Amino acid sequence: MASLSSILVFDSGLGGLTVLREIVAARPDAHYVYVADDAFFPYGHHTEDQIVARVVPLIGELIDAHAPDLVVIACNTASTLVMSYLRSAYKIPFVGTVPAIKPACAQSKTKRVSVLGTKGTVQREYTKALIRDFAHGCEVTLVGSPELASLAENALSGHPVGDEDIVAELAPCFVGDGADPTARTDTVVLACTHYPLLLDRLVRLAPWPVAWIDPAPAIARRVSDLLGPTGAAMDGAGAEMIFTSKRPHRLSSALMPFFGGRVPA
């Protein structure tokens, strides 16, 4: 009988659930451990050195505790900083999450693309290098949102989040002549895994229609490729939810869709 693969998905908070959802759909035959580093959330409030010093040893501790076959860093901020350190330190496969600038610019018809991320992600040299390499003549607007990740966490946790708060974070993404569909932003990269948690509201509150680029499906395909052929779902293919603050999670009904209908332990 084939052994059960175990996948550890790591994020600063609950945003990585949007990545987990796609991976579970692609690989229902795996066991999942989701780790939210809420004790250090939000990462945007820390320096790059602090994030590296926090995440690299923490991932080592999680590998020792859970023995995953593969680790997904479902966080743009962390991925743009720590992937090289992780791959040097630990001998298991890692899959990161980086702004999907290449596909966004390739599909944009108006050549006006916005990248919506945390302040740290949009300021990082890694993101600027992606633009240099893959913009292909696009005008790329970088929008560093100070609060949208926290708003997404609050919304998932059942706390009220006003439309006006979301609009304030979203508005700088929309550039150009709103009355002319050929001369305005037509594509927005969601460069934080928290943001798809609010996608329905982003679509509704946008001043005009755009394509929203979520990297999660591509990440799921990469994970599945690394794991190899899909096996039959097994009894042990459950799920665990861990907060680094040690607080218990009380979101079972809200979390089940992200875990493919499983109740996370």
- Pick the catalytic residue from 105, 138, 173, 192: 192
What does the block give as tokens for 122?
């949009």
Alpha helices in 2-75 (DSSP H): 17-26, 48-66
Whose structure tokens read 């998932």? 156
For residues 70 and 7, is the Cβ–Cβ distance under 8 A? yes
Residue 75 appears among annotated catalytic residues: yes
Give the number of other Cβ atoms within 10 Å of residue 160's Cβ: 7
Residue 173 appears among annotated catalytic residues: no
76 three-state secondary structure: helix
List, as one string, the DSSP characters of 133-155.
HH-TT-EEEEEEESSHHHHHHHH
Cα-only R_g, the chain: 18
Q: How far is CA 182 from CA 108, 124, 178, 213, 218, in A?
A: 11, 30, 9, 19, 28
- Pick the catalytic residue from 75, 105, 138, 173: 75
Catalytic residues: 75, 192
